[in-house]
Amino acid sequence: MLKRLAILSALVVATASFANAATISQISIGGNDSFTNNSIIFYNPGFVGPGSTGNFSVFTAADTNVQFFPGFATISPSSCTVMCNPTAALPFSLGFQTVMSRLGVPNVLALTTTQGANTLNFFMTDYTVTFMSAVTGCSLTCLDVTANGFFQQTGLPNTNGLFTFTTQAVDLSGTTEVTLSATGTEAAPTPEPASLMLLGTGMLGAVGLARRKFLRA
């Protein structure tokens, strides 16, 4: 009995280690925007904040050329010094909406940046919009946008994830300069079904071998 318990315990530990092998990556982005009660405009460029983790750790605070919605951006005159290079207004209503319902395409490139040999893109597929005020981290009126989609990064497969954009203004007029902060989170990869099947087959084989040895003992 003691032999069989020892073998099964080892299998459980190995399975737990396999399940927790994935790493979640995070990155922070800063910049400027303005918004009304039904649209938001971003101003390029933005910048990477400190503390990127996981796959995103190759992007550092030295990166000051993050481009928001580059397909919708315009180039300001060279004399522009504040709130330059605005994007077209991203429309929204409160609550959940898909990019398809708003822009007529399944996804849109929401931000891109390149540092050294590494490029990071985030494609947005849907987003949820809420207004907040007088809460922790938001003393004025805050617009909060949680966008689902997928990341593309040099040398890595596409990975699902989300970006949360939070911005703050005195009112909803859209006339005041506001500061954008965004946090991107890469979802932990899920083991493929084939990998899970192989793991299960290996466990069953090991248990069967342990049982035969136990019966012979």
**pLDDT (tens place) for every residue of the chain, 217 residues total:** 333 333 332 333 333 333 333 568 999 999 988 888 899 999 999 999 999 999 999 999 999 999 999 988 887 776 777 778 888 899 999 999 999 999 999 999 999 999 999 999 999 999 999 988 777 767 778 889 999 999 999 999 999 999 999 887 765 554 455 778 899 999 876 555 554 444 455 444 544 544 454 445 5
Other beta carbons within 10 angstroms of residue 142's beta carbon come to 19
Is the CB of residue 151 less than 8 Å from the CB of residue 121?
yes
Residue 168: the pLDDT is 79
Same domain, 183 and 200: no
Going by the DSSP 8-state scheme, the letter that residue 63 receives in this structure is: -
Residues 6+ apart with CB under 8 A from 17: none
Same domain, 48 and 143: yes
Encoding tokens for residue 72? 């919708």
Going by the DSSP 8-state scheme, the letter that residue 57 receives in this structure is: G
Same domain, 112 and 88: yes
Same domain, 48 and 107: yes
Same domain, 109 and 175: yes
- Alpha helices per DSSP H over the chain: 2-19, 99-103, 193-216
Compute φ and ψ for 84, nearest 5 degrees: -95, 165
Residue 137: the pLDDT is 67
Residue type, 47: F
Residue 195: the pLDDT is 46
Encoding tokens for residue 49? 């904040």
Same domain, 40 and 122: yes
Same domain, 211 and 126: no
Same domain, 32 and 124: yes
The number of C-alpha atoms within 13 Å of 192 and in the hemisphere containing its C-beta is: 3
Same domain, 203 and 217: yes
Residue 198: the pLDDT is 45
Same domain, 80 and 18: no
SS3 16: helix
Task: Decide: residue 183, CB within 10 A, 0-12 exposed, 13-18 middle, 19+ buried.
Answer: middle
SS3 187: coil
Structural domain harbouring 3: 1-22+195-217
Residue 129: the pLDDT is 95
- Split into its structural domains, the chain has a count of 2
SS3 65: coil
